[in-house]
Chains A and B, each alone.
Chain A
Amino acid sequence: MPELSTKLFWVFVAIWSIWHFVSQWYAFTHPIEKQLYFGWLSWWQVNSIVWYFTAAAVFAVYLNKFWKPVKVREKMMKGKKAER
C-alpha cells in the first residue's frame, strides 16, 4: 500500500489537473478579460503564476522529504559517510 504522503501527493496532482477545467468554466462565466492585477497582469496570468508556484512548493517537499527513491539513496549516502 502506498504511504499517506504518496496518496496525498497524487490527490494534489489530481486537483491541480482538474483546476484547468474548473478555471475554464470560471473564465466562461465571469468577465475575466476586464480584470487586471498590479495594473498589468491579466486574470489568466495571475491564475497561472499561483498554480505554478504552489505546485513547485509541493513537489519540492514531496520529492525531498517523502519520495522513496530519493530517501533510500540519501540514507545510503549517510551510511557510507558514517562508515568512512
Chain B
Amino acid sequence: MAEWYTGQGGIILGLIIFLSLVVIGFSIYISKKSKKTVQDYVLAGSSLGIFVLYFYGAFTIMSAWTFYGLPGWVYAYGHGIMIPWYMFIHLFQVMIITVLGIKLWGAAKYYGYSTPLSVIADRLESQNAQYIFSSVNLIFVAIYLALQPAAIAIGLNVLVGAPLEFGFVYGAILSGLIAFIGGMRSVAYTNVFLGAWFLIAFVGTFIIALINLPNGLTGAAEYIVQNKPWLYSNPDPFGPAKLTGADRMAYALGYILSGFSGALWIHLMYVPMTLRSPLAMKWYPTLQLISFPIIFTVIGVTIGTTVGHVLAPNLPKADQVFQYIATQYGGVWWGAFVYIGAFAAAVSTMGTMIVAAASLYSYDIYRCLKKGKCTDQQIIWQTRIFLWILVIVSTFFGWLAIVGWKYIGLPAPVPLADFLNFLASPGFALNVVMLIALYWRRATKEATIISFIVGFILLAIGYVYQPFTYMLTGIKGLPALVIALPVELILFFTISYLTKPASEQTLAKFFDQLERYINEQPDPKVEGIS
C-alpha cells in the first residue's frame, strides 16, 4: 500500500508546505515594520484600522471550530442549542471590541499599557490579581488552543490519510512560527490573507453541496422534517443526555449562559488595544453581525443539519462532515483547497491566542516578578520562549483528547466543538468581574480576587466531578457555570461594598482622566488625526 505522502497526497502536502512558506515569508515582511517594542509585538503598536480589524477580529473568532466543529456538532446533536449559544457569544464579542473594550483601548493609547490584565491589575492596585488572573486564563486559553491543531490533524487525516500526529505537529509549528516571527502585527495582517481563503473555501463548498443535492435544499429540509425533525428542535430531545422537562430547560439555559463569555475571551480583550482609533471600531459590529449569520447560521448550520444527512449520512465521526462533502463532491483538489481553508482558520486563531497567552506570562507574570526591571527585548524574548512551551502543551492536550483519550480514561474522543463550548468558554466567563471592575468605581481588589477564585474552584469541581451540580440542585445536566457565575457575582458585589475602594488617585486615573480622554479630549497626535 502506498504511503499517504506519495502520489496525490504528496502533491497536496507540497501545496500545504508552499502556502505555509508564503505565510511565513509574509510574516517576516510584516515583522520588518515592527518597532521592536513590547507594545508593538503584543498589540501591533495600537495601529490597526478597520480593514485589517475586520479580518483580524472576525478570523480570530472564526477558527477551526467554525469550519469543522460547528457543522460536526449540529450534524450529531441538532442546532437548537448551538444557534442561541453563538448568537449570545457574538453579541458580546462585538461589544468587547467596541463599547466595552473602549477603556482597554484608551488605557493602551493614553497610558501605554500592553496587556488587558496589566490595566485591570493597576486599576485594582494589586499585583497579585495579575498573577492569579493570568494563571487561570492561561489554563483556558491552552484548552481552546488545543482545538486548533486537533482540527488540522483531523482534516488532513480525512483528506489524504495522514497520521493524526503529523497534522498536530505541523499545525503547531506553523502557528508558533508566525507568532514567533512578528507577534500580533504579523498575526493581524496574515489573517487578512488566511481569512480570504477561508471565505472562498467555506462558501464554495456550500455552493458545491447545493448543486449536488438530488432534490435541492427544500427536498433535503423536507427529508429532515420527515425523518430526523429533532435536528431542528431544541435541545437534546433524543441526544446523549436524554433530557426532559426542567432538566432539559436547565441544560439549555446553562449552556446559553456560557455564551455571555463572548466579551470575556481573554485573547479578544487584546483586540481593541491594537486599534489606532475608535473610528476603526464604528463599522466593526455591523460587519461582523451581517457576515456571521451568513457564515454560521446559513452555511455552517445548513451543511451540518440539512445537507450533511443527505450527502454524507451516517458518518462515523461527525467532525468530518464538512471535509467529507468538500472532498466527495468537489473532488480531491477542491478538498485540498478546503482543507487549506480550515488550516487557515486554525492558524489565524492560534496566532492571536499564542501571542496573547504568551504575554500573559511574559508581561503579566515575568515582568512583575522582575518588578518592572526588564527591557522590552527581554520581555519579547520571554514571550517568544513561552509561546513555544504553550504550543507544545496545548498540542499534547489536543492529542490526548482526540487520539489518546483511552489513556486518560475518557469514554470517547472529545468532539472538537466541546473544547470551546463546554471547557474554555465557561472558564472565560469568570473574567466578568474584571470587566465590571473597569467600569464600576466601587469594585475592590479583595472582591475581584476572592470572587474570581471561588468561581474558578466551583467550575473546576464541576469539570472534574460531574455529579457536583446535580448534588447541589437535583437537576441533571446542569453546567457548573450556572452555579459558579451567580456565586461569583454575589460575592463580588457583596465584598465590594464591605471593603475599601481603591485610592482616589487610582480612581481618578482610570475613571475621570481616562474617560475624559476617550469621550471629550482626544489627542490628535497619538491617534494619527491630521
Contacts and interface: CB of A to CB of B under 8 A. Distances in A.
B87 A51 contact: yes
A39 B219 CA distance: 8
Nearest to A64: B282
A8 interface: no
A59 B285 contact: yes
B283 A60 contact: yes
Nearest to B289: A56
Interface string B279-307: 10111011001101100011001100110
Contacts of A23: 84
A16 B232 contact: no
A43 B232 contact: yes
Interface in A13-70: 13, 16-17, 20-21, 23-25, 27-28, 32-34, 36, 39-45, 47-49, 51-53, 55-57, 59-60, 63-64, 67-70
A13 B91 contact: yes
B79 interface: yes
A60 B289 CA distance: 10
Given A20-B259, A27-B233, A56-B285, A45 B221 contact: no
A49 B298 contact: yes
A20 B529 CA distance: 40
B84 to A, nearest CB: 5
A4 to B, nearest CB: 16
B158 interface: no
B256 interface: yes
Nearest to B293: A52
A27 to B, nearest CB: 4
A39 B220 CA distance: 10
Interface stretch (B93-101, B338-346, B397-405, B467-475): B93-101
Contacts of A28: 234, 248-249, 252
Given A24-B252, A59-B94, A72 B520 contact: yes
B230 interface: yes
Contact of A20 (B87, B233, B302, B522): B87
Contacts of A17: 88, 91
Contacts of A20: 84, 87-88, 256, 259
A55 B221 contact: no
Nearest to A74: B279
Contacts of A11: none
Contact of B282 (A53, A67, A76): A67
B83 interface: yes
B174 interface: no
Contacts of B94: 59
B87 A80 contact: no
Contact of A44 (B80, B220, B518, B520): B80
A55 B289 contact: yes
Contacts of A74: 279
A16 B259 CA distance: 13
Contacts of A73: 277-279, 522, 527, 529
Given A52-B290, A63-B282, A72-B522, A40 B217 contact: yes
Name the residue in B87, B95, B253 with the highest tally of chain A Cβ atoms < 10 Å from its Cβ.
B87
B89 to A, nearest CB: 11
Given A34-B225, A53-B293, A76-B529, A70 B278 contact: yes
B87 A45 contact: no
Contacts of B297: 45, 48-49, 52
A57 B290 CA distance: 9
A33 B99 contact: no
A42 B233 CA distance: 9
Given A21-B256, A43-B232, A55-B91, A76 B298 contact: no
A36 B218 CA distance: 9
Contacts of B259: 20
Contacts of B522: 69, 72-73, 76
A36 B225 contact: yes
Given A33-B225, A73-B527, A42 B98 contact: no
Given A28-B248, A32-B233, A42-B79, A21 B253 contact: yes
Nearest to B231: A33
A52 B184 CA distance: 29
Nearest to B278: A69
B278 A48 contact: no
Contacts of B519: 68-69, 72
Contacts of A27: 80, 233-234
B306 A40 contact: yes
A46 B220 CA distance: 17
A44 B232 contact: yes
B530 interface: yes
Interface in B495-530: 518-522, 524, 527, 529-530
Given A40-B218, A68-B519, A53 B289 contact: yes
Contacts of A44: 79-80, 83-84, 232, 234
A34 B68 CA distance: 27
Interface string B444-471: 0000000000000000000000000000
A29 to B, nearest CB: 10
Nearest first, the 5 closest Cβ-Cβ pairs linking A and B are A39-B218, A33-B233, A56-B289, A59-B285, A69-B278
13 contacts: A20-B259, A24-B249, A28-B249, A33-B229, A33-B230, A33-B234, A42-B232, A48-B297, A59-B94, A59-B286, A72-B519, A76-B522, A77-B529
Given A20-B256, A42-B305, 15 more contacts: A20-B88, A24-B256, A27-B234, A28-B248, A32-B233, A39-B218, A40-B306, A45-B83, A49-B298, A52-B87, A52-B289, A56-B286, A59-B94, A63-B286, A80-B529
